[in-house]
């Protein structure tokens, strides 16, 4: 039997990123297929190609063995493909039935028969246990129910291939359980469901097949029954960088950053960091490994004063900074290289010189600190560009036009030039090429050799192992244990990233070797 | 022959290209509006000449044009500050009205032997500017506070505040500040408090000088001062600004304060320069036209001056047009709208590169 869907050799290139590099994906009938990968691995691009929003540069799409080409979403829908985006596409002050029929060509010769549509919605709702009331207004429904309305829209349009982009990102744990049950019942009658995610336990719970993407390439396609969370984690984050960097042995100094019993909530108000304790000493790199979305970003944001602390304390050089402003923290010489280079770390349309002083404007001002000291800024920006080898036509060049690697050098360089006591670095090399990675790693180790502490959050195991003196593994908002770099084998870290405690993980490894 | 138009990967930043596109848009608007003259059997070119002759061709016309441009410049400058800081302020009508009322209160105190009558004229103007600026600043800054403290929507709040301010001034001129007589207006200000004349023999007063100086100061604020850097950073990306240690909430309040103050100065030049008394409906919509001028100038504080003068010249010339050719002055309103529309739309051209179709590039020779 032909697979329901096949994507073959899909290539999609954006200005300076190869988002899909001969990616392939095969989905069978009655199957829930998970597409797994870190942020930036090319998952969303691939789904947009499938849904007709992007035109691929190469490759073909086959449905039931027949080649199809889409130039619009409308055509994709006509071929039975339906997609649910992370942000729902619902009209908030319309009822469910109005939302479902929106955009459909009328069946009754232009007459809108909502009662007929409502009857069908109720039928479908009962059949798949969706619990959707056709006459409810969207604005009165919880997020979980709104998502089921989106599913209803696809069922009503008789979609045979359902794509859900990060469907659980906005749901509470209880709603997640309900959604996974629904997906199971949908993958019947020849339908296929594709879920795009980076949450491993959900995959293990619901998926039949898993395709792992990394750097735009298909790494593997495995059956759920023949794999494990640990193996999936490893395939997702493992990156073969033939870089070996020499870390000199150093005696670590006094504790610099001390975090105790930290609790932080995410944007939805759920506790996402649940009691983290950690200490970064002078002259050491402390790594936090883990799959994205286990609370690392929120932890770091709360350390930098960009997110309120729910409970617990943060101390920097023996001063309590739990509730200090970002500016007060930078006075303590606690600096941060954020993961989101374009959204947080830089101001896209401003030039390099303006970005070079972000965070230290007061040091580059004159005349009672009212005016920018432009000569000083220019000299400093030039020094930054030269010292960190930022490839740019000049300092009056917009930051948004720099490639990812050069932008990261600008941000990291800026923070290093501020002479940090402690540097928090999040995903410093995500999406960068080998040359840039080598440069960034070297710079980070140099900071360490000057006796400064570094807290490195990374989903790249290779990076963590090469740079860190101690490694913490984070899962579901907690630290699962501390490893030395030589202990941090792919297998052990993989098990811990999947939620196993350090003793369990080591025991499991011991069995494997015994 | 190769294609003339090539899509760019990212929009051009070249000031020459942007200047040329803007000028081209203005010319195109004039060409399109020319069609409207056809039913009147008048020569569009001649009509345009008469428009500019009326508004710029004589000292008298120039004086009226500049008087009209000055408040537009001040409001447009307020728009530059607020909007570039990411504060979508639409409350300039209210600021103009309240700034005018505060100025009127101060100017009228001269009549009752108050301080305004006993100080040198220069000092009077300095204090008057200060009072009106603070009044508008507090009015608008309060809306900034509502947004940064309580997350209110500044667009709606500021839009609605215009009515509050307008009705409040209506109350003032109908009651507490009303002059004896039948009309709801204050007494006329003493002549010493009028803005001094700039162009002899005309009504042209120094409002335009105040406006041009303000334009230079706002330019300095936005591109040379630390506060301007903080404003722009906040406006482009509040998350990055917060990460950079900028107090984003405070910046909204400050930007609103400056915008309100500049708007109130427009009220000051209206009452001290043109009306010489406070009366109901004094702003007459300039609070919104000023925003349009700022958009026409693409929120650049220096470009605001020529944009406002062009806009004012067309308005002044439009009145003359009806007299000379019989064509309705609404043609000029259409022209003004077309200019704004085309200039805004020309932004899309920044994504294209234009080439001559006949010259081969070096690369294609080998093909």
Q: What is the pLDDT of residues B19-63, one digit of tens each?
A: 889 899 999 999 999 998 888 777 888 888 888 998 999 999 999
**How crowded is residue A20: how many other Cβ atoms within 10 Å of its Cβ?**
30
- Residues from chain A that touch B227, judged by Cβ atoms under 8 A, are 370
Of A306, A360, A361, the CB nearest to B242: A306
pLDDT at residue B9, as a whole number: 66
For chain A, the residue count is 514
Nearest to B279 by CA among B100, B125, B64, B70: B100
Q: What is the mean pLDDT of residues A367-387?
A: 94
Show the tokens assigned to B70: 């000055």
- Environment class of A21 (CB within 10 Å of its CB; exposed 0-12, middle 13-18, buried 19+): middle
CA distance B294 to B88: 13
Show the tokens assigned to A492: 């052990």
Position B113 confidence tier, pLDDT thresholds 50, 70, 90 = low
CB contact at 8 A, A307 and A325? no
Position B363 confidence tier, pLDDT thresholds 50, 70, 90 = very low
- Tell me if B243 and A350 make a contact (CB, 8 A cut-off): no
Q: Is the pLDDT of residue B172 over 60?
A: yes
CB contact at 8 A, A414 and A407? no
Query: Between residues 243 and 282 of chain B, which touch chain A (CB distance below 8 Å)?
Result: 243-247
pLDDT at residue B366, as a whole number: 38
Interface of A with B (CB under 8 A): 15, 304, 306, 325-327, 330, 336, 338, 343-350, 354, 357-362, 365, 369-372, 374, 398, 400-401
Interface with B, mutate which of A358, A370, A393, A407 (most B CBs under 10 A): A358
Of B10, B226, B242, the CB nearest to A361: B226
Angle at B346 between CA B344 and CA B349, to 5 degrees: 145
pTM of the prediction?
A: 0.81
Q: What is the mean pLDDT of residues A41-70?
A: 89
CA distance B232 to chain A (A): 9
pLDDT at residue A242, as a whole number: 53
Give strand pairing partners of B93.
Answer: none
CA distance B101 to B267: 8
Encode A176-210: b = buried (16+ Cβ within 10 Å), e = exposed: bebbbebbeebbeeebbbbbbbbbbebbbbbbbbb
Residue B299: which residues within 8 A CB-CB, separation 6 or more? B79, B80, B83, B84
Q: What is the mean pLDDT of residues B159-179?
A: 92
If you search the block for the tokens 């490839």, which residue do you land on?
A391
pLDDT at residue B362, as a whole number: 42
pLDDT tens digits, B83-94? 999 999 999 999
Give strand pairing partners of A481.
Answer: A473
For chain B, the residue count is 367
pLDDT at residue A513, as a whole number: 55
- Tell me if B240 and A347 make a contact (CB, 8 A cut-off): yes
Q: What is the mean pLDDT of residues A460-464?
A: 84
Q: Express as a percent the part of chain A with pLDDT over 70.
A: 96
Q: Where are the domains positioned within chain A?
A: 5-237, 243-333+420-514, 346-419
Relative orientation angle of helices B207-224 and B226-236, to the nearest 10 degrees: 70
CA distance B219 to B321: 35
Q: Which homologous superfamily does the CATH classification assign to the domain defined by A243-333+420-514?
A: P-loop containing nucleotide triphosphate hydrolases (3.40.50.300)
Does residue B14 sit at the A interface (CB-CB below 8 Å)? no
Position A436 confidence tier, pLDDT thresholds 50, 70, 90 = confident
CA distance A254 to A257: 9
Q: What is the mean pLDDT of residues B348-365?
A: 65
CATH of domain A5-237: 3.40.50.300
Average pLDDT, chain A: 88
Helix or strand or coil: residue A357? coil
Per-residue DSSP letter, A38 = -
pLDDT at residue A106, as a whole number: 60
If you search the block for the tokens 């999406």, which residue do you land on?
A431
The CATH architecture that domain B43-326 belongs to is: Orthogonal Bundle (1.10)
Interface with A, mutate which of B228, B229, B248 (most A CBs under 10 A): B229
Of A344, A372, A398, the CB nearest to B229: A372
């Amino acid at each position: 039997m032909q697979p329901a869907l096949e994507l073959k050799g899909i290539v999609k290139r954006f200005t300076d990123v190869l988002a899909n590099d001969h990616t392939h994906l095969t989905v069978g009938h009655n199957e829930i297929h998970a597409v797994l990968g870190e942020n930036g691995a090319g998952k969303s691009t691939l789904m947009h190609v499938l849904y007709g929003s992007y035109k691929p540069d190469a490759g073909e799409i086959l449905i039931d063995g027949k080649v199809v080409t889409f130039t619009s979403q409308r055509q994709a829908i006509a071929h039975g493909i339906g997609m649910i985006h992370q942000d729902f596409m619902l009209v908030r002050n319309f009822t469910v039935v109005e939302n479902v029929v929106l955009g459909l060509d009328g069946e009754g010769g232009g007459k809108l028969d909502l009662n007929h549509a409502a009857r069908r919605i109720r039928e479908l709702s009962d059949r798949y246990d969706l619990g959707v009331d056709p006459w409810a207004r969207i604005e009165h429904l919880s997020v979980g129910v709104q998502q089921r309305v989106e599913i209803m829209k696809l069922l009503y349009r008789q979609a045979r291939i359902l794509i859900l982009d990060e469907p659980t990102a906005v749901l509470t744990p209880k709603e997640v359980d309900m959604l996974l049950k629904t997906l199971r019942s949908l993958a019947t009658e020849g339908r296929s469901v594709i879920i795009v995610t980076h949450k491993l336990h959900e995959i293990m719970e619901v998926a039949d097949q898993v395709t792992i993407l990394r750097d735009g390439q298909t790494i593997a396609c495995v059956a759920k029954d023949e794999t494990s969370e640990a193996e999936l984690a490893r395939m997702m984050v493992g990156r073969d960088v033939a870089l070996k960097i020499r870390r000199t042995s150093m005696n670590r100094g006094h504790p610099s950053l001390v975090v105790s019993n930290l609790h932080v909530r995410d944007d939805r108000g759920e506790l996402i960091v649940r009691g983290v304790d950690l200490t970064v000493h002078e002259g050491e790199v402390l790594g936090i490994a883990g799959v994205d979305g286990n609370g690392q970003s929120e932890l770091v944001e709360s350390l930098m004063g960009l997110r309120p602390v729910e409970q617990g304390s943060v101390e920097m050089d023996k001063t309590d900074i739990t509730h200090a402003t970002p500016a007060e923290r930078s006075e303590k010489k606690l600096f941060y290289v954020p993961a989101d280079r374009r959204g947080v770390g830089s101001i896209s349309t401003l030039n390099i010189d303006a970005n070079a002083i972000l965070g230290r404007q007061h040091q580059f001002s004159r005349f009672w600190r009212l005016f920018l000291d432009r000569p000083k800024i220019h000299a400093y920006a030039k020094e930054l560009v030269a010292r960190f080898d930022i490839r740019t036509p000049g300092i009056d060049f917009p930051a948004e036009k720099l490639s990812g690697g050069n932008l990261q050098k600008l941000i990291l360089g800026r923070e290093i030039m501020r002479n940090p006591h402690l540097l928090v670095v999040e995903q410093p090399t995500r999406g960068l090429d080998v040359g840039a990675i080598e440069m960034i790693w070297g710079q980070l180790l140099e900071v360490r050799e000057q006796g400064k502490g570094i807290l490195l959050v990374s989903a790249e195991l290779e990076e963590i192992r090469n740079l860190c003196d101690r490694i913490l593994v984070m899962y579901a908002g907690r630290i699962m244990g501390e490893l030395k770099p030589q202990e941090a084998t792919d297998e052990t870290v993989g098990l811990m990233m999947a939620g196993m405690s350090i003793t369990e993980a080591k025991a499991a490894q011991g069995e494997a070797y015994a | 022959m190769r294609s003339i138009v090539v899509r760019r990967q990212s929009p051009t930043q070249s000031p020459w290209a942007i200047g040329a596109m803007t000028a081209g848009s203005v010319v195109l608007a004039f060409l399109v509006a020319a069609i409207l003259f056809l039913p009147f059997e008048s020569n569009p070119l001649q009509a345009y000449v008469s428009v500019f002759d009326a508004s710029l061709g004589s000292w008298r016309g120039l004086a009226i044009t500049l008087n009209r441009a000055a408040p537009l410049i001040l409001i447009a400058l307020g728009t530059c500050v607020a909007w570039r800081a990411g504060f979508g302020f639409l409350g300039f009508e209210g600021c103009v009205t309240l700034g005018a009322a505060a100025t009127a209160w101060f100017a009228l105190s001269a009549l009752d032997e108050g301080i305004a009558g006993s100080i040198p004229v220069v000092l009077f103007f300095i204090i008057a500017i200060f009072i009106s600026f603070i009044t508008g600043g507090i009015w608008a800054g309060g809306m900034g506070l509502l947004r940064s403290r309580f997350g209110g929507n500044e667009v709606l709040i500021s839009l609605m505040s215009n009515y509050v301010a307008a009705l409040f001034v209506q109350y003032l001129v109908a009651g507490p500040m009303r002059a004896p007589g039948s009309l709801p207006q204050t007494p006329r200000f003493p002549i010493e408090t009028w803005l001094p004349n700039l162009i002899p023999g005309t009504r042209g007063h120094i409002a335009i000088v105040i406006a041009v100086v303000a334009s230079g100061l706002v330019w300095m604020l936005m591109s040379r001062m630390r506060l301007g850097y903080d404003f722009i950073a906040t406006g482009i990306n509040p998350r990055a600004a917060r990460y950079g240690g900028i107090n984003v909430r405070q910046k909204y309040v400050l930007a609103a304060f400056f915008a309100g103050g500049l708007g109130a100065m427009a009220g000051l030049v209206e009452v001290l320069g043109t009306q010489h008394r406070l009366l109901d409906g004094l702003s007459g919509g300039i609070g919104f036209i000023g925003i349009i001028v700022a958009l026409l100038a693409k929120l650049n504080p220096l470009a605001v001056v020529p944009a406002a003068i062009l806009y004012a010249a067309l308005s002044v010339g439009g009145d003359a047009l009806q007299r000379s050719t019989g064509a309705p002055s609404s043609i000029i309103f259409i022209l003004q709208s077309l200019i704004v529309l085309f200039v805004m739309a020309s932004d899309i051209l920044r994504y294209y590169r234009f080439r001559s179709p006949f010259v081969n590039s070096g690369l294609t020779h080998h093909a």
